[in-house]
Amino acid sequence: MKKRSDRVVGLYNRHDGGYCVLEDGIVREHIEIERYTRLKEDGGDSLQYLKDGYLSKNSLTIADVDAWVAPCPDTSLESGVNKKYDTHQHIAKSDIHFYSHHLCHASHAFFSSNFDDSYVFTIDSAGMEDDGRSVSTCGYIASGNDIRKIFDIPNDAFSLGNLWGRMTRFVFKLSAGYPRGHQAGSVMAMAALGDPNKYYDDVLKLATTHFQSVKQAPPGYKRGIYVPPEEDVIHPTLYPYKKIAEDDEKEKFNLAASLQKVSEDLTFDLIKQFILLASDAGFTSKNICFAGGVSLNSVMMGKILKNFPQLTNCFIPPVPYDGGLSIGASQYHWYSVLRKPRKKVYVSPYLGEKYSLKHVEEAIDRKILDVSRNITLQDCVNLLIDQKIVSVFSGRSESGRRALGNRSILADPRSPLMKDTINEKVKHRQWYRPFAPTILEEQGSDWFEGFFPSPYMGFVFKFKKDKLGLTPAVEHFDKTARVQSVSREQNSYYHELIDLFFKETGIPLLLNTSFNDREPICETPQHAVDCFLGTDIDYLYFAEHQILVSKKSSKSIDK
């Protein structure tokens, strides 16, 4: 008789809500609610989605779950979404183990890293601690199954996440339709075009009024003007910068560059002080992990090892923002509470649903589509070389905000026109937004300075001088790229596709952007078809089933 799995389920109902199923220490499924509702950063009843999804398709019930976990309920916020934990038969709020917000972030980072020990630094807008305080920044020391906080900063004293959110929404006006500053990446993109010194002192003052050493935290902090949330207070504080951004595009870029530089300098200073505090506590490590929404700043993350030569390894998990809290809560319960042995395995980001051929056939049964079958990866490569834009749908969807080959739009990076074409006709976004390359992991060191594996697209690297200009579609204005590396073990089909392109062109990378158009990444085959029809993507390729879809006006492939 097959042994029953030990099963821990993590729930999170707020923004970026979702659930995680951990079985015998392995994350079996993690899905964010936005993938179903098609509303970015959506929250809601994660338990109901769990019941309708993972439990139902695996013939399981609530009784088959051994432990329920979640981040601390945030009683300082309205809405009562946490009451939904009480609305289902056989599970009550009293049955759930709650862990602090930043501890969940830190656990997702450390227990996904495979490091024996590590510094763990979490930084975001705000998160609830066990004692009811709201903090923005925490430092943890981690070893084996243990993870311990040694400092934190209250978010009303300093919050880099809040600063970015307010600047994105109210100064750069980039977040219409995005509830929590989802377009901070646009500001990072602008920063490459600006002078970081132009408004450095202004932004520094905004970020650091009453900002003190972390050695004095928390009692030494006072409330600053870090950009408070009330709109009537925000406008007087930010109005001069809002006016700058509205009146002159060049000055807007300078402001973005200053925000980026200030953020890096403050974060690096905090990390230095954190490492000193850890040393005072008798802890040292060659490793560092990051989580929290600010760790999505891949430009900053790409500079960590260069700025801290005493460190050897840097890790960011697949879902470092609040969408990963359910994973972190599950991992903390498994390893730190239940004291289960650590499993050093690659943490796959492909944790969403997998769809059958039947689902694909139903989605492509449209008179306006041409369908070609038995289309190989080599056929797909030939289309890319022919300067076609190909969206790919394969296997389980990626967790997190970055497409990693299973729900991606791909193109030839050698084309100088491809970046503008996709920005304008597919993604419908600003001209200055860059695209990422996915490179064969074994080729990364030949192309990028200071390269190390980046399977979750978490780090920006500079192109090596001899590679500049070879792939203009993925080369940003500052000669950098946010890189995804892929090995055969991580994603065999995707690695093979890029390897075939490499053999044909001598270029071991492809342009890769998320398969979406201003909404969450496509989850189902139907989402994929809808996005394909609503944009100027040339082909849609269902890789597992070797099915290629084109619009009636396009050229299909006869096999």
Q: Could you report the per-residue pLDDT of 120-153, keeping only the tens digit for each? A: 999 998 898 988 889 999 999 999 999 999 999 9
Number of domains in the chain: 3
Percentage above 70 pLDDT, the chain: 88
Q: Which of 176, 181, 152, 188 is nearest to 165 (CA)?
A: 181
Residue 44 lies in a domain: yes
Continuous segment of H or E residues that includes residue 36: helix 34-37
Give, as one character, the DSSP assignment of residue 395. S
User: Where are any strands of DSSP class E within 213-280?
Assistant: none
Q: Quick check: 218 and 285 in contact, CB under 8 A?
A: no
Taking residues 486-490, what's their average pLDDT?
97
Which pLDDT tens digit goes with each residue over 37-54? 998 888 888 999 999 999
In a domain, 369, yes or no: yes
CA distance 298 to 280: 30
| Bridge partners, residue 147, by sequence | 142
Is 407 strand, coil or helix? Answer: strand
Query: Half-sphere exposure of 104 toward its Cβ, with a 13 Å CA cutoff?
Result: 31
Distance CA 48, CA 50 (A): 5
Assigned domain for 394 exists: yes
- Bridge-based pairing state of the strands 436-440 and 480-486: parallel
- pLDDT of 106 strictly over 50: yes
Same domain, 401 and 429: yes
> Is the domain of 263 the same as that of 400?
no
Rounded to the nearest integer, the mean pLDDT of the chain is 89
pLDDT over 80 at 87, yes or no = no
Confidence label for 234 from pLDDT (cuts 50, 70 and 90): low
Q: What is the CATH number of the domain that holds 239?
A: 3.30.420
| Stretch among 154-158, 192-196, 246-250 having the lowest mean pLDDT | 154-158
Same domain, 522 and 469: yes
> Taking 90 as the threshold, does the pLDDT of residue 93 lie above it?
no
Q: Are residues 429 and 515 in the same domain?
A: yes
Structure tokens at 76: 């300082």
Q: Are 391 and 529 in contact (CB under 8 A)?
A: no
User: Looking at the domain assignment, is residue 493 inside a domain?
Assistant: yes
Q: In whole angstroms, what is the distance from residue 538 CA to residue 549 CA?
A: 9
Whether residue 329 sits in one domain with residue 306: no
CATH number where 512 lies: 3.90.870.20
Looking at the fold, whether 327 and 302 belong to one and the same domain comes out as no
The answer to whether 224 and 157 have CB atoms below 8 angstroms apart is yes
Least confident of 336-350, 429-443, 510-524: 336-350
Provide the pLDDT for residue 44. 86
Per-residue pLDDT for 528 more than 70? yes
Residue 16 lies in a domain: yes
Q: Can you name the residues that pair with 118 across neighbouring β-strands?
A: 142
DSSP symbols for 509-536? EEEEEES-SSSSPP-SHHHHHHHHHTS-
Cα distance between residue 441 and residue 315, in whole Å: 16
Which residues on neighbouring strands pair with residue 315, listed in sequence order? 289
- Furthest CA-CA distance within the chain: 71
Q: Is residue 541 scored above 80 in pLDDT?
A: yes
Mean pLDDT of 80-96: 56
| Domain boundaries, position 333 | 7-99+323-337
Whether 274 and 331 map to the same domain: the answer is no
Question: Do 285 and 190 fall into the same domain?
Answer: yes
Chain segment 271-300, per-residue pLDDT in tens: 999 999 999 999 999 999 999 999 999 999
Predicted confidence at residue 208, as pLDDT, reads 79
Residue 1 is assigned to a structural domain of this protein:
no
Which SS3 state, helix, strand or coil, does residue 177 take? coil
389 and 533 co-located in one domain? yes
Q: What is the mean pLDDT of residues 552-556?
A: 69
* 77 and 205 both lie in a single domain: no
Tell me, yes or no, whether 13 lies in a domain: yes
Considering the domain architecture, whether residues 172 and 310 belong to the same structural domain is answered as: yes
User: In sequence order, which residues have a C-beta less than 8 Å from that of residue 230 and are 6 or more positions away?
Assistant: none
> What per-residue confidence (pLDDT) applies to 226?
33
Stretch 515-528: mean pLDDT: 96
Q: Are residues 328 and 311 in the same domain?
A: no
Neighbours of 176 (CB within 10 A): 7
Residue 306 burial class via C-beta count within 10 angstroms: exposed 0-12, middle 13-18, buried 19 and up:
exposed
HSE-CB of 482 using CA atoms within 13 angstroms: 22
Q: Which residue has the tokens 């000055």?
A: 251
What confidence tier does 219 reach under pLDDT thresholds 50, 70, 90? very low
